Structure 1
Amino acid sequence: MRILLLSAYDADSHIYWREGLVRNLPEHEWTVLSLPGRYFSWRMRGNSLSWAFGEAETLSKPYDLVIATSMTDLSSLRGFVPSLANTPTLVYFHENQFAYPSSGKEFKSVGPCILNLYTALSADYCLFNSEYNRRTLLEGAEALLAKLPDHVPAGIVERIEERSCVLPVPLNEDSFLDHKGRRGEFHITWNHRWEFDKNPQLLLDSMIKLDQAGVDFTLHVVGQQFRKIPKQFEQLKTQLGSKIGHWGYMESRSAYQALLQQSDVVLSTALHDYQGIAVLEGAAAGAYPVVPDRLAYTELFPIECRYESFDKNVNQVENEAVSLAATLQTLIKNKQAGVN
């Protein structure tokens, strides 16, 4: 089968997915087009323009199937390249813009949500990496359509729902490791993008509370960084001082995996996670997952792994930091007492 694979915003999680797809299905003939994971607004709206008129020869070749990420402006691309209009198309949703948290700084627009909606409707089938992702898109689309003034056809959301299902991104085989652990000190690894949607304020507040409790621990903060780094990271490094272990992105995968193997906890503070590959990889290496009681994590981990979450709209960040710090303190004391 000749497959055209389109990754319109090729961030780390998207690279992980597409490389795994190609590697694990070598019997097919793959053609891959990707665009860098930067300049989000332009990339979302401009990918069809970039590809249709910059990769016309590649796109005009005969394909048996098109697999595109949800960032792809599929309706425009199929219009620009007529041959694609008749090719079966599958869209994979790593995330959806209906459930993406607001930083309060961005220009408010329904454009990204509309693009997700049009792309879902343009596809023959849609796959989601979690039921949380699927459900929030369907609910978000229904709420948006209800606000539109007129000429909104019936059955739009039902059409997407009928042609969709959940298929999580599988972990790479090398993710499953024997846990080595460390004696004595308790090691916590936070391994996410250094951006607002991963909730660095909660990380900062909870770690300060844990430090103030007088327990021994080391915090490793790793993950992808961008040009603008939230101020909380520098505050965290200053506040925790000697309790900081590894700091910054790890280029070596083997070194990163070794860190996960030796960690007691892999931690998420996210406002935005539709599957949580970083935490899943930590758990596969033997670290204990500590995650918020929301997002896709309610599908992935038992209640024992989830700390109490609060509605951010009522300014309950302080309560969540207390809950997280208390959860970690209990785990630290259990290790000291020899309790698994």
Structure 2
Amino acid sequence: MRILLIEAFYGGSHKQLADLLQEEIEECVLYTLPAKKWHWRARTAALYFMQTVPANANYRILFASSVLNLTELIALRPDLGKLKKVLYFHENQLAYPVQKCQERDFQYGYNQILSCLVADIVVFNSAFNMESFLTSIGKFLKLIPDHRPKDLEKIIRPKCQVLYFPVRFPDVSREHDKDPESFFKVLLKLKEMDLPFHVSVLGETFTDVPALISTSKKMLNTSQNQDLVFCWLRQDSVFAFVITDIFSEAKKALESSVLHWGYLPSKDDYFQALCMADVVISTAKHEFFGVAMIEAVYCGCYPLCPNALVYPEIFPAEYLYSTPEQLFKRLQNFCKRPDIVRKHLYKGEMDQFSWAALRGKFRSLLTTEPREDL
């Protein structure tokens, strides 16, 4: 094996990428920790992998997500320090909101900065992710009371590149808090106006890190007179806050419009649900890429996303909204005129996010230059 893949939080998009690389790239070996207790993974994973990853003279590449404290691992395992070290950012801690600024919160971002300094190549899943991280380094380090390091952005930036998360699209015939309050408030307002729609909420929860996916589906009858179906995505996120009572309150208030409420364990069933949906809605307050939104659009959903975060990088302007009022007006119009979305052809480009389009770039990333003497 020439490529060592390490994933300290083996779940969600982290798992998807690790599995994809292991399946599609030759000579890969994967070591993981379960997607539980993210904060402890960030604190202690390096020590665990120090003991569990066996020494192997054939390794040439080390690929890890930024959950791992790469600096600690390299210090504990000098043999791995000789490898070409690639650090992949699904999300970054400098731009991720915290409810209270605490010393431990500083440590997570600080660890990511140190890992960047140790890595040979730093890869981000979007330009938004990269720029929000790099441009926050200076401000972030001002939290240090004195003797602050300087010019770290200038040192790290030349190592950085953007390589979109590779989505393995399904074979279909047509996949900080994401702010469920905003979504359900809009639906309740539509309900008060007696506008026709249905909704299904599907959820997945890691042990103590909620990662709710909420979707809506069309009825099996595909008549143009069928009520519109909304799809709200609580995309997989390893950093999340506690789910509030808004879910139970909304379920009760929307009861007559609910088609399904619960987790779909099968990926095929999940994609089928997306294929039966009309509109996919994000009310995210934080997003670095948005795999689930892209999957939903590929499955035929009309996307509505905040005009912020990574979304302007991914979706054309007509699919963005700036305020909850704008979102409500768009959905109100769609309820009255479902043909608008059912006859709509998406105007963006999905192929650029596919594994087929990104395969070559990842293969190049996971190769060593001939001059390297390990």
TM-score tier, shorter chain, comes to 0.7 to 0.9
Query: How far apart, in 2, do the equivalents of 1:245 and 1:102 lie?
Result: 34
8 A Cα contact 2:169 2:298, kept in partner: no
Query: How far apart, in 2, do the equivalents of 1:105 and 1:238 lie?
Result: 36
65, 69, 74: which is aligned to 2:70? 74
- Per the alignment, residue 333 of structure 2 pairs with 330
Q: Secondary structure at the match of 2:248?
A: helix
Do structure 1's residue 222 and structure 2's residue 202 form an aligned pair?
A: yes
Query: How far apart, in 2, do the equivalents of 1:324 and 1:104 lie?
Result: 30
Do structure 1's residue 209 and structure 2's residue 189 form an aligned pair?
A: yes
Do structure 1's residue 130 and structure 2's residue 131 form an aligned pair?
A: no
- Per the alignment, residue 40 of structure 1 pairs with 38
The offset of 1:62, in angstroms, is 3.6
1:103/1:199 Cα in 2 relative to 1: closer, same or farther (>3 Å)? farther
The offset of 1:77, in angstroms, is 0.3
Q: Secondary structure at the match of 2:105?
A: coil
Query: How far apart, in 1, do the equivalents of 2:141 and 2:42 lie?
Result: 21
Do structure 1's residue 93 and structure 2's residue 89 form an aligned pair?
A: yes
Q: What letter matches 1:41 in structure 2?
A: H
- Per the alignment, residue 224 of structure 2 pairs with none
Unaligned 5+ runs, structure 2: 209-241, 345-374
8 A Cα contact 1:52 1:59, kept in partner: no
1:294/1:140 Cα in 2 relative to 1: closer, same or farther (>3 Å)? same
TM-score scaled by length of structure 2? 0.77
Q: How big is each residue's C-alpha offset from its partner over 1:63-84, in whole Å with a ceiling of 9 and x where there is no partner?
A: 1000000101100000001101
Query: How far apart, in 2, do the equivalents of 1:230 and 1:242 lie?
Result: 22
Query: How far apart, in 1, do the equivalents of 2:147 and 2:101 lie?
Result: 32
The offset of 1:104, in angstroms, is 5.5
**Bigger helix share:** 1
234, 239, 248: which is aligned to 2:253? 239
The offset of 1:91, in angstroms, is 0.4
TM-score scaled by length of structure 1? 0.85
Query: How far apart, in 1, do the equivalents of 2:90 and 2:55 lie?
Result: 23
1:274/1:60 Cα in 2 relative to 1: closer, same or farther (>3 Å)? same
Q: How big is each residue's C-alpha offset from its partner over 1:135-174, in whole Å with a ceiling of 9 and x where there is no partner?
A: 1111221211244344334321112111111101111042
Q: How big is each residue's C-alpha offset from its partner over 1:104-144, in whole Å with a ceiling of 9 and x where there is no partner?
A: 59886301111111111110010100011001111221211
8 A Cα contact 2:141 2:149, kept in partner: no
Of residues 324-333 and 7-16 in structure 1, the stretch that sits farther from structure 2 once superposed is: 324-333
Query: How far apart, in 2, do the equivalents of 1:59 and 1:198 lie?
Result: 41
Of residues 214-223 and 286-295 in structure 1, the stretch that sits farther from structure 2 once superposed is: 214-223
Do structure 1's residue 113 and structure 2's residue 109 form an aligned pair?
A: yes
Do structure 1's residue 278 and structure 2's residue 281 form an aligned pair?
A: no
Query: How far apart, in 1, do the equivalents of 2:104 and 2:329 lie?
Result: 36
Do structure 1's residue 63 and structure 2's residue 77 form an aligned pair?
A: no
The offset of 1:35, in angstroms, is 0.9
Query: How far apart, in 2, do the equivalents of 1:65 and 1:336 lie?
Result: 51
The offset of 1:61, in angstroms, is 4.9
8 A Cα contact 2:22 2:30, kept in partner: no
Q: Secondary structure at the match of 2:88?
A: strand
1:173/1:40 Cα in 2 relative to 1: closer, same or farther (>3 Å)? closer
The offset of 1:276, in angstroms, is 0.3
- Per the alignment, residue 143 of structure 1 pairs with 139
Do structure 1's residue 16 and structure 2's residue 13 form an aligned pair?
A: no
Of residues 275-284 and 100-109 in structure 1, the stretch that sits farther from structure 2 once superposed is: 100-109
How large is the Cα RMSD of the aligned pairs?
2.2
8 A Cα contact 1:204 1:235, kept in partner: no
Of residues 71-80 and 256-265 in structure 1, the stretch that sits farther from structure 2 once superposed is: 256-265
What is the number of residues matched between the two proteins? 309
Of residues 74-83 and 115-124 in structure 1, the stretch that sits farther from structure 2 once superposed is: 115-124
Do structure 1's residue 177 and structure 2's residue 175 form an aligned pair?
A: no
Query: How far apart, in 2, do the equivalents of 1:212 and 1:61 lie?
Result: 66
1:150/1:59 Cα in 2 relative to 1: closer, same or farther (>3 Å)? farther
272, 286, 291: which is aligned to 1:258? 272
Q: Secondary structure at the match of 1:8?
A: strand
Q: How big is each residue's C-alpha offset from its partner over 1:228-251, in whole Å with a ceiling of 9 and x where there is no partner?
A: 643211111111011112212211
Q: Secondary structure at the match of 1:47?
A: helix
- Per the alignment, residue 312 of structure 1 pairs with none
Unaligned 5+ runs, structure 1: 180-190, 310-319
The offset of 1:207, in angstroms, is 1.5
Query: How far apart, in 2, do the equivalents of 1:23 and 1:49 lie?
Result: 27
Q: Secondary structure at the match of 1:304?
A: helix
